[in-house]
Amino acid sequence: MVTIYDIAKQANVSAMTVSRVINNSGRISANTREKVKRIMQEMNYVPNSTARSLVKQETKMLSLLITDITNPFFTTLARGAEDAALKLGYKLLFGNSDENLSKEREYVDMVLSTRVDGLLFAPSSDASAEHLAMLRLHQIPFVLIDREVPGVEADMVLGDNRDGALRLTEHLISLGHKRIAFVNGSSTVSTARERSSGYREALLKHGIRYDPELVMECRFNHFDDSDLLDRILALSEPPTAIFAANNVLAVSVIACLRDKGIGVPEQMSVACFEDVGLASRLDPFLTVAVQPAYEFGYRGIQLLVDRINRKDGEERQVVRFPSEMIVRKSTGKPRQPSS
């Protein structure tokens, strides 16, 4: 491996001079600068960032932890984060927790030993508080993304989940729906709670009774309760519409309905949070509340780098993006308006 000393020897200068050329620091005569640069080229020298990290106590690496790498919301977010990180001179290490606390724990351990300079973190649930405490203990700056954790004060980039859910539900109500089922993610996740709160507020506002029998709670990355859906459909007053708390759940619900021969939107309207990637281009079908995923990632990294460059105590920043409602074909009037 070619080191800074090999270059120094060839150029008849000290290692320090080479270091200064590499980092454009200090005063160097144009002559030696050129000579050193030429020799670095000739010898295919590449600085060893491991060594640099060790002495500078910074790695110029950030880490992004998301909860579902197959979800277009998170991959688009990842793209924004990567663009921002690169622009700001950082590399980005990705991780995928699968909404799973112990995978998340492993990832946090890894990140701690890798000494990344900061972490953009989508917590898998409120239980992530324990991992965030770990990061605090080791003084790793972090920014929460998409989800917050009760009791944890931090910079955050969030969506306006309550408002989005409220508008989506009101949209269904305005079409004439009164029995609206709600397929939610786990209530241990802040976005699930906020979307639930928007849903309930919409009902309240329009004098519709909140019926717990119409509500299902699943994991955000996996809809596995086809039975419960059956039970809801078999109620004496079955729903005429379903509001799903995210894209993955909505797609699963629609697949289930199709298997049962229930047409969307003819027999059942379906709306959800977050768009569905290629699917919405292939066939603009699902009525959704779209969040600016790319900006989530981009702003998240910006906040993180901001935080890294500031004193610890300084006031925290919270960005909350509104969502945009896109009405498409999956929602329509109820077949026979419920009483």
Q: Is the dihedral of CA 185, 65, 305, 276 positive or negative?
A: negative
- Per-residue burial over 201-225, b if 16 or more Cβ lie within 10 Å, else e, is bbbeeeebeebeebbbbbbbbebeb
The phi, psi pair for 202, rounded to 5°, reads: -60, -45
Which of 106, 230 has the CB closer to a copy of itself?
A: 106
Residue 148 interacts, among a copy of itself, DNA, none and using kind-specific CB cut-offs from 5 to 8 Å, with none
Residue 302 interacts, among DNA, a copy of itself, none and using kind-specific CB cut-offs from 5 to 8 Å, with none
Query: Nearest approach, Cβ of 103 to a copy of itself (angstroms)?
Result: 9
d(CA 73, CA 275): 7
Taking CB under 7 A as the rule, does residue 129 contact DNA? Answer: no
Render 124-188 in DSSP notation, one character per residue: SSGGGHHHHHHHHHTT--EEEES---TT---EEEEE-HHHHHHHHHHHHHHTT---EEEEE--TT
d(CA 90, CA 61): 5
Residue from 44, 57, 139, 336 in contact with DNA (CB under 7 A): 57
Residue 191 interacts, among DNA, a copy of itself, none and using kind-specific CB cut-offs from 5 to 8 Å, with none
3-state secondary structure at position 66: strand
Which of 97, 240 has the CB closer to a copy of itself?
A: 97
Binding site for a copy of itself (CB under 8 A): 1, 44, 46-51, 53-54, 57, 59, 69-70, 72, 75-76, 78-79, 82, 86, 91-96, 106, 109-110, 112-115, 137-138, 247-248, 251-252, 254-255, 276-279, 281-283, 285-286
Taking CB under 7 A as the rule, does residue 114 contact DNA? Answer: no
For DNA, the binding residues (CB under 7 A) are 1, 3-5, 12-17, 19-20, 22-23, 25-29, 31-33, 47-48, 51-52, 54-57
